[in-house]
Amino acid sequence: MARNRVIGQEGGMPWHLPADLKHFKAVTMGCPIIMGRKTFESIGRPLPGRTNVVISRSRPELPDGVELVGSLDEAVEAAGAERVMVIGGGQVYRQALDRADRLELTLIDAVVSGDTVFPEWSASDWRLTKMASRPADDANPYNLVFATFERGPSRA
């Protein structure tokens, strides 16, 4: 997410960051992923190596390998695992944030325009447990921080 919490623009991401995509793949591989319909449509296909669960109030036609459900509760049940990853979009993040016990965030050192934001969250409710920085380069135009937060009071 950008410094201004932007995560999306017109159904896609407002940046192309191969390092973030590689990190996302590493973090989510083998774990069920839960997403909203618009997020699935922006990806365009089921992500391999993961159970793909899509939440939608409508009943869109989805390809084989994608489980369609109507709510976050149904998505968690359909995932059938103790650990699931919620991968967007903004509405699904808002529903899931209070239930999450861990956040895997890519913090992008930029302020960008967008129409979808990550919900506000209180850093005092979370503690930073892992962090890795990656400087900008030719392929990744922004500095990145890959951060893991776990629910619990910060140690400030």
Tell me the pTM.
Answer: 0.93
Tens digits of residue pLDDT in 47-67:
999 999 999 999 888 999 999
Q: Can you give the pLDDT at residue 123? A: 85
- Residue ranges of the chain with per-residue pLDDT less than 50: none
Q: Does domain 6-151 have CATH number 3.30.470.20?
A: no
For every residue of 114-137, DSSP letters joined together read -SEEPPP--GGGEEEEEEEEE---
* Residue-range domain boundaries for the chain: 6-151
Which pLDDT score is estimated for 105? Answer: 98
| Region of 152 on the Ramachandran plot (φ > 0 left; ψ -120 to 50 alpha; else beta) | left
